Homo-oligomer: A and B are copies of this chain.
């Protein structure tokens, strides 16, 4: 492995000068720099990131805290899309991404601990359970951080305007003529779930529509299965709703399947609307009418916020909220005449 010492020996300069040549110090003569760079190329020199980090305290590494345990992980359609765009700008700026787990080598250690051990310069958080004590510990720390799908004054946050999204969704259903609109809520603990539920309630109130007794059902983990189960509950209601707004696309799709299995046609007999616009939503039949989040924008802006927080200190915490839009497809229609 070639080091700056080897280059120094070969060119006759000191290691100091060699190092400076690579780091574009203004006090090495252009001719000298060229000589050194040329030698480095010939010798196949590559800098050692660990040695550099050891002295500079800067690792050029960003920790990625990704949903663990639920079995979704990297597969998670929404977070997966966001992180991909995040990665693009981070890499562009010279950073590498590293997954931070809480149990490494079978030892329970926690996110913060692993961040410290690896000396990451910052962290991007994409979790669904923000109650996790290990996450809280990280949150208390002073590591530059950006969190997705969550809001807190303790860190920069980036999320979609869930409340407004839910509002728009209900608006749309109302505009089709629906009045008995039920809601399949996201998991209790999730931030977007709460927001969307709030938006739903607010929208119903603003139209003076009554929320049917039992008209809000919780679906766990945003999973297809829980959407299915939730829909079964809704269909068993005294007065069956004519439209259902689900907090996630998978929940919605589960609802569609439950309706179908009960002999109801979507959207002829009952309308179903989702949230997220994950990839599969345009392929299912009927294609899902939903609320689209701009994942590319979320990812990109999250990266920008984090990087500038790394460069310029944490500064004022930013809570970025991005607008969403209703994507009309085939799963909603005016209610059937009664």
Contact = CB atoms under 8 A, between A and B. Distances in A.
A303 to B, nearest CB: 13
Given A119-B50, A280-B280, A96 B99 contact: yes
Given A87-B99, A105-B92, A119 B48 contact: yes
A18 B104 CA distance: 22
Interface in A95-111: 95-101, 103-106
Interface stretch (A73-81, A193-201, A212-220): A73-81
Contacts of A101: 87, 91, 96
Nearest to A57: B1
A118 interface: yes
A51 B51 CA distance: 7
A101 B87 CA distance: 10
A100 B103 CA distance: 23
A313 interface: no
B87 A46 contact: no
Given A50-B53, A54-B48, A119-B48, A74 B87 contact: yes
A46 B285 contact: no
Contact of A54 (B51, B100, B117): B51
Contacts of A93: 105
A50 B46 contact: no
Tally of this chain's copies: 2
A168 to B, nearest CB: 25
Interface of A: 46-51, 53-54, 59, 61, 73-75, 77, 80-81, 83-84, 87, 91-101, 103-106, 113-114, 116-119, 224, 253, 279-280, 283-285
Nearest to A288: B283
B75 A80 contact: yes
Given A49-B119, A54-B50, A73-B84, A98 B97 contact: yes
A14 to B, nearest CB: 21
Contact of A99 (B97, B104, B116): B97
Contacts of A116: 46
Closest 8 CB pairs of A and B: A94-B105, A285-B285, A280-B280, A73-B84, A50-B50, A50-B53, A98-B98, A74-B84
A75 B279 contact: yes
A74 B116 CA distance: 25
Contacts of A97: 98-99
Contact of A117 (B49, B84, B104): B49
B75 A81 contact: yes
Contacts of A91: 99, 101, 103-105
A60 to B, nearest CB: 8
A53 to B, nearest CB: 4
Contacts of A106: 92, 94
